[in-house]
Amino acid sequence: MKIGFIGLGIMGKPMAKNLLKAGYELIVNDLNQDAVSELVNYGASSLPTARDVSGACDVILTMLPNSPHVKQAVLGEGGVIEGAKAGSILVDMSSISPIVSREISQALSEKQVIMLDAPVSGGEPKAIDGTLAIMVGGPEDAFAKVEDILKVMGKSVTLVGEIGSGNIAKLANQIMVASNLAGMAEALVLATKANVDPEKVFRAVRVGLAGSTVLDAKAPLVLDRNFNPGFRIDLHIKDLQNALDTAQSLDSPVPISTSVIEMMKSLSSQGKGSNDHGGLVQWYEQMAKIEVRSK
């Protein structure tokens, strides 16, 4: 089976490599020609446009930054919709607005192309080792056809519901991650301000009810002052903005997300948008005039 892969960024590139490792024939496309060359050297072939990729493949995967990029790649000039064959499946693995997912799906359905939205969680480390959490929305029969492909890239692959449901699940995920990050930052700054070793506080609480995947993954990096991006603050801002827009359309309250996005925007305005989202601790540090680190 030939698989098209459009979007070879921080997440897409290792995901594509895992498909090649698993023996799939891959045709790739990206605006970044260095990324394309790297994948070609790894065993993929390439085509110059999304239209060309979709015309050559029965399954097309997209992994792009946000809603406008996906709309352009799929519905724009030279896009997937111009080349895709009836019966082919587009799996959009980007994290975008569920409203836009449904809009794109409707347009594709007019050409008898099926769409699944399948955003991922886990950041670059889990993209590299193929253990992402993948949340899928769309028809069950289409999901069954691509489930094995998705399992190459993810440890957990869950069909959540109809089209758009995958991105609703991803927004829920990002709200919970943001809340965890803010709680962790608030707590570690409090401990530091009280002259208690924040690393020992982390060790003390991680095995109790406060323990979480977020705490285990991010607290050691904060304590080491390592804000190299696994998932950038600017990307989390994008996801939270999608969550706020969706919540507003549904009249659903999101006060925590509203607070956290403002903290992240403050850091982004200071040039820290490319920091890992665990760097949210810096907002609290600035307020407290203290720095969290291992003693």
CA angle 130/133/135 to nearest 5° reads 130
Task: Indicate the CATH number of 2-162 among 3.40.50.620, 3.40.50.720, 3.90.25.10, 1.10.10.60.
Answer: 3.40.50.720
Mean pLDDT by 10-residue block, N- to C-terminus, for the chain (295 residues)?
A: 95 98 98 97 98 98 96 98 97 96 98 98 92 98 98 98 97 97 98 97 97 96 94 94 95 98 98 97 98 90
Q: Report the pLDDT value the prediction gives residue 295, as an integer from 0 to 100.
A: 80
Q: What is the DSSP letter of 30?
A: -
Q: Where are the domains of the chain?
A: 2-162, 169-288
Strand partners, 134: 120, 157
CATH topology of domain 169-288: N-(1-d-carboxylethyl)-l-norvaline Dehydrogenase; domain 2 (1.10.1040)
User: Contact 224/291 with Cβ under 8 angstroms?
Assistant: no
pTM over 0.85: yes
Q: Report the pLDDT value the prediction gives residue 123, as an integer from 0 to 100.
A: 85
* CA distances in angstroms from 59 to 123, 142, 149, 193, 245, listed in the order given: 23, 10, 10, 53, 30
Q: Report the pLDDT value the prediction gives residue 117, as an integer from 0 to 100.
A: 98
Q: Report the pLDDT value the prediction gives residue 259, as an integer from 0 to 100.
A: 98
Report CA torsion sign: 252, 235, 4, 173: negative
Q: Report the pLDDT value the prediction gives residue 230, as an integer from 0 to 100.
A: 82
Q: What DSSP string runs through 63-113? A: --SSHHHHHHHHHSTT-HHHHPPTT-EEEE-S---HHHHHHHHHHHHTTT-
Active site residues: 170
Please state, as a whole number, how many other Cβ atoms lie within 10 Å of the Cβ of residue 203: 11
Please state, as a whole number, how many other Cβ atoms lie within 10 Å of the Cβ of residue 241: 15
